[in-house]
Structure 1
Amino acid sequence: MHSLIAVSLGSNRSKGDKDPTEWMPPAKNGPCTYAAGWVASQRRWKLTADRDEKTKLKQTAAGCPRTTVTYVPAR
């Protein structure tokens, strides 16, 4: 799983520091990849998510039947 993905300056500016409730990548498979990476990072570092974030991630995951979340727990 990648923590960083090279994107255009425009994409980087539109995303800023927004979480999944405020921004999802526009590419066809972007939301699935982005949500999986977001969840993997949260799981790895034992971070929490608020209710709206969980709702958005579950909605996104429902449209991603072939996407899995893989992570290695931090030590």
Structure 2
Amino acid sequence: MITISPKDMTTAGKLSTMEILWNDLCQHGSFESSNWHEPVLNSPEQQYVGGTQLPMDWEKAKQQIRNKIE
């Protein structure tokens, strides 16, 4: 088996590898989400349905994410 460090891979190579792994997991994998996933995912949806969270423009959302990681 040949192994390669992610540090030695190009961005395109990393993305290609991730896509191959994701496709394989979707076709052949069986896994359960952790217990904490459901409430985290449901919270924004419940806020939206309850009217306390309004939809956000995609460009504005991306900018907010960029501001948080800078």
TM-score (norm 2): 0.33
Comparing both structures, which one devotes a greater share of its residues to helix? 2
Higher-Rg member (1/2): 2
